[in-house]
Structure 1
């Protein structure tokens, strides 16, 4: 009878170990950051999101937004960003009516580029002042492409690309994230 008790005791310990050891290993993996925690977005997550409602002049139809802030001098990175957001908007296809391209300008923005953008029909120009932009974006650098939700909360940022090929490859990341948020959202 003592061998049966020993077998039962070892079986219970083995059974407990089978259930407890994986839980302990998972806890250790989470605490020590041993793996990528399921991040699927390609852009840099802005937490907490930036509320840009103060920059809006009038109430607009709720749409997802691809945002770019026009700098004083439009360099290669600026040109690539404007090209990228236009291409991403076009690549959305039938979902493009749920999103819009918004270019925010300020008193020091590039006048020539602003005049060129005024002729494009798929771009909404939003004028603001530099002080308001700095107050809204605070620590977040404004040299990038942003995605905002339908409530005007900016939550993703993509750095500018100087190389045209890199900008095109980077556009795929922006497109993937836009498709994902449009698929998951019923608004806009």
Structure 2
């Protein structure tokens, strides 16, 4: 083989080493061959729900696991309360950076409120049904939410009817809480 042919072949090989990965990456992006770096398990809320109106002035910024107590606490409600309490305890040494918040309104189940007050790691916020509806607007309150340190509700998790599913689903919540606590310097 002549020297010119070797040089041309070497240049072609060298060019393909740099161009081929770029072409493959473009093809993969255009055809959606992989998950585009979305690793959260919950549904990302867009636009976010601002709950800063419920914040007390002496409260230090913390990440929150939020649940809105319904009028009647069904099995889904009990599973949600159990899940968020378990997620907070499973955070281990990071649990002091997060808190469990349950929002109650005037039509919430009073008996369930009494049971919640006995638990030390659950903070109750009382508000009116009207202000709750204004805060959530088009968003359903039948879910578990993750709230950032600026009191913006950012992630939503559907309620589970089955206890086993609720426990499995709480692993997703725990995974997302660990990620936000790891990436956050506040709270």
Q: TM-score, normalised by structure 1?
A: 0.89
Deviations along 1:117-142, one digit per CA (max 9) or x if unpaired, are 12222111111222322332233321
Q: Counterpart of 1:137?
A: 136
Question: 1:95 is matched with which residue?
Answer: 94
Structure 2 partner of 1:107: 106
Q: How has the CA–CA distance of structure 1 residues 137 and 24 changed in structure 2, closer, same or farther, with 3 Å as cutoff?
A: farther
Q: Distance in 2 between matches of 1:83 and 1:186?
A: 28
Match for residue 125 of structure 2? Answer: 126
Consecutive unaligned residues of structure 1, counting only runs of 5 or more, are: none
Aligned to 1:178, what secondary structure does the other structure show? helix
Secondary structure of 1:73's counterpart equals coil
Moved more, 13-22 or 50-59: 50-59
Match in the other structure for 1:186: 185
For the pair 1:76 / 2:75, whether they are aligned, the reply is yes
> Per-residue deviation at 1:58?
3.7
Deviation (angstroms), 1:177: 1.7
- Correspondence 1:41 to 2:48: no
- Please list the CA deviations of residues 58-102 of structure 1 after superposition, one character each: whole Å capped at 9, or x if unmatched: 441111101001111211110000011111112222222111110
Distance (Å, rounded) in 1 between the aligned partners of 2:181 and 2:170: 16
Aligned with 1:176: secondary structure? helix
Distance 1:7 1:139, change over 3 A: farther
| Alpha-carbon offset, residue 3 of structure 1 | 4.1
Partner of 2:166, secondary structure, is helix
1:123-172 per-residue CA deviation (whole Å, 9 max, x = no partner) reads 11111222322332233321111111111111111110100011111112
Displacement after TM superposition at 1:112 (Å) = 1.7
Residue correspondences, number: 187
1:169 equivalent in alignment to 2:172: no
Range with bigger deviation, 56-65 or 67-76: 56-65
Match for residue 4 of structure 2?
Answer: 5
TM-score, L = length of structure 2:
0.90
Following TM superposition, by how much is the alpha carbon of 1:47 offset from its aligned partner in structure 2, in angstroms? 3.0
**Residues 55 and 132, structure 1, Cα contact 8 Å, conserved in 2:** no
Q: 1:137 to 1:73 in 2, by over 3 A?
A: same
CA RMSD of aligned residues (A): 1.9
Give the aligned partner of residue 16 of structure 1.
Answer: 15
Give CA deviations for 1:12-48 in whole Å, capped at 9, x if unaligned: 2222122112112212211321111232222122234
